Structure 1
């Protein structure tokens, strides 16, 4: 996954969720979207975790 900022990743994740909420989506497409959503959420989590470490480091 190319380097993107947190806001971009979150917006993409929101789009994936919106697509998955669509009851008309074919199963194979839903599985691909779900996998993409997992990747995006992991990337967001990692960014937040990194930011938290920076903040904690600055506090100490």
Structure 2
């Protein structure tokens, strides 16, 4: 398993925020900016996957009799 995939959602977000701040400052050399951008994209994918997994877990509720049922939130 890749070291980045072992990160918690919060750790990945923190690293992503630091990368964004660094790139927004604008004083990063081009090669370093590209590397940071790639790392940021990897971290964003990790965050997205972790959120997706959490959403899938939260869409199931346990009934009183122990059966699992899908939980759907109807949008207005």
Which structure has more relative contact order (CA 8 Å, sep 6+)? It is 1
Q: Structure 2 regions of 5+ residues with no counterpart? A: 62-68, 71-76
What TM-score do the two structures reach when normalised by structure 1? 0.92
Runs of 4+ in 1 over 6 A off after TM superposition: none
Q: Structure 1 regions of 5+ residues with no counterpart? A: none
Q: CA RMSD in A?
A: 1.1
Pick the structure with more strand per residue. 2
Pick the structure with more helix per residue. 1
